[in-house]
């Protein structure tokens, strides 16, 4: 396959200004990128796509995906889903994400141990359409922590697996690694709805975190952490966690620690869930509604403040918004870029870089993913509009004249949130 994308406005992901140019794709790689005025002898005989007036950029990377969180109102509804049905629903979420312009995804956790793994492999083999995926484990959590759906009288499953003590963490991490996950997820802090483990406490102990990290790092796989509490952020840094999500309540010392390891770690706010949930709960005047609303407001304020500061310190922040909940459904992931601009002080170019170049690095493929550059994988978006002038154009899937992943061409389907292969 040889395709010349001709006369586009090329934004290459480096942060440099866009320029009129042409891009030659050969099979699944970018073969050449040259200014429009230059002749490209290599392009002789290639199929030509007229991209006049359109914006060409790298495919986006979702940095906190939960493709098996299928928009249910409760976590325990995920536990009730049989694996067969659940797998098909995760496939559907993958197609939606690709249709939203995301050609890669770093999973933030799966709802069952093999869901991400099976989906990743099926996508890689071309059996199903979806983004390149790094598969995660379910959320390893302590008893009573975020994702422990059990009650004393009911053995309910949610999106977490409860493990207590370093031996149990190690054993479950190794089991997930045996089953093929790329990332082990640890819930170091709690969250707003988890009464015995709220957002501002670090409930997973030092020894438990260390055991999970050791299990993954021994075989060169990674650990991601749910860390809202400042103490949880510090614990994650101290024990070598690779991706530290949320960081909402990070204090000055925690920020210094993050900055000290900024070339090694990635962070991601997953802010859309907070913003959408706060919107959804407005008007709920029940006592419980008011409690949750107050906690969400505190989280919202803290997250905004901390990410303004993290951006200034040059800490790598991934686009990714915890999509997959009823009030934050799959497929709207490009909304995150706009939130980075409106809430965290990013310029549109910086938000785009977070979604492309930084995302490629987080996929552990910064040498071949996330830029429009010769030799890089042909993951490209051709956009009818200018995201640098209005970042929200990326939320309108009708604007994608072309979504290319690994040299394969897709178009968003009309009337459904899916994609179809062009050939």
Residues of the shown chain interacting with Zn ion in the complex, contacts defined by CB under 5 A: 108, 322
Q: Please tell me whether residue 358 adopts helix, strand or coil conformation.
A: helix
**Using CA atoms, how far apart are residues 128 and 117, in angstroms rounded to an integer?**
13
Using the minimum distance from each CB to Zn ion, give the nearer residue, 108 or 348. Answer: 108
Compute the CA torsion angle 217, 307, 206, 323 (nearest 10 deg): -70
Q: Report, in Å, the least distance between residue 13 CB and Zn ion.
A: 25
Using the minimum distance from each CB to Zn ion, give the nearer residue, 31 or 90. Answer: 90
Q: Please tell me whether residue 78 adopts helix, strand or coil conformation.
A: helix
Q: Report, in Å, the least distance between residue 335 CB and Zn ion.
A: 15
**Strand 2-10 and strand 55-58: pairing?**
parallel
Using the minimum distance from each CB to Zn ion, give the nearer residue, 23 or 67. Answer: 67
**Using CA atoms, how far apart are residues 339 and 348, in angstroms rounded to an integer?**
10
Q: Report, in Å, the least distance between residue 42 CB and Zn ion.
A: 44
Q: Of 169, 79, 67, nearest to 108 (Cα)? A: 67
- Cβ(365)–Cβ(28) under 8 Å? no
Q: Report, in Å, the least distance between residue 185 CB and Zn ion.
A: 8
Torsion 336-339-343-344 (CA) sign: positive
Using the minimum distance from each CB to Zn ion, give the nearer residue, 31 or 243. Answer: 243
Q: Report, in Å, the least distance between residue 186 CB and Zn ion.
A: 12
**Using CA atoms, how far apart are residues 182 and 1, in angstroms rounded to an integer?**
31
Using the minimum distance from each CB to Zn ion, give the nearer residue, 25 or 227. Answer: 227
Using the minimum distance from each CB to Zn ion, give the nearer residue, 43 or 270. Answer: 270
Q: How far is CA 188 from CA 142, 324, 394, in A?
A: 8, 21, 33
Q: Report, in Å, the least distance between residue 69 CB and Zn ion.
A: 8
């Amino acid at each position: 396959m040889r395709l010349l994308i001709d006369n586009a406005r090329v934004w290459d992901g480096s942060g440099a200004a866009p320029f009129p140019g042409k891009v030659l794709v050969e099979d699944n790689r970018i073969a050449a990128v040259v200014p429009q005025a230059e002749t490209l002898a290599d392009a002789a005989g290639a199929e030509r796509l007229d991209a006049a007036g359109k914006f060409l950029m790298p495919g986006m990377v979702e940095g906190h995906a939960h493709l098996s969180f299928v928009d249910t109102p409760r976590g325990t509804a995920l536990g009730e889903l049989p694996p067969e049905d659940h797998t098909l629903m995760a496939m559907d979420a993958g197609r939606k994400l690709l249709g939203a312009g995301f050609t890669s995804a770093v999973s933030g956790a799966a709802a069952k141990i093999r869901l991400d793994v099976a989906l990743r492999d099926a996508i890689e083999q071309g059996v199903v359409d979806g983004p390149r995926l790094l598969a995660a484990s379910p959320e390893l959590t302590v008893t009573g922590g975020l994702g422990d759906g059990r009650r004393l009288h009911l053995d309910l499953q949610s999106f977490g697996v409860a493990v207590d003590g370093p031996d149990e963490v190690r054993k479950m991490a190794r089991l997930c690694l045996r089953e093929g996950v790329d990332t082990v997820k640890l819930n170091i802090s709690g969250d707003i709805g988890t009464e015995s483990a709220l957002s501002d406490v670090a409930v997973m102990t030092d020894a438990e975190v260390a055991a999970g990290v050791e299990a993954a790092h021994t075989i060169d796989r990674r650990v991601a952490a749910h860390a809202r509490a400042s103490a949880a952020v510090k614990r994650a840094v101290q024990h070598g966690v690779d991706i530290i999500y949320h960081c909402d309540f990070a204090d000055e010392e925690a920020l210094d620690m993050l900055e000290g390891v900024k070339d090694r770690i990635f962070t991601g706010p997953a802010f859309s869930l907070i913003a959408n949930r706060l919107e959804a709960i407005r008007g709920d005047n029940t006592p419980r509604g008011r409690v949750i609303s107050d906690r969400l407001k505190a989280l919202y304020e803290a997250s905004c403040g901390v990410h303004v500061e993290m951006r200034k310190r040059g800490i790598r922040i991934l686009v990714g918004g915890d999509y997959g909940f009823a009030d934050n459904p799959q497929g709207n992931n490009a909304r995150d870029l706009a939130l980075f601009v409106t809430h965290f002080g990013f310029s549109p170019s910086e938000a785009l870089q977070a979604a492309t170049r930084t995302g490629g690095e987080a996929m552990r493929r910064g040498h071949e993913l996330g830029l429009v550059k010769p030799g890089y994988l042909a993951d490209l978006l051709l956009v009818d509009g200018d995201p640098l002038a209005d970042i929200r154009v990326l939320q309108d899937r009708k604007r994608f004249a072309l979504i290319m992943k690994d040299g394969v061409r897709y178009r968003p389907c009309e009337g459904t949130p899916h994609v179809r292969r062009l050939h």
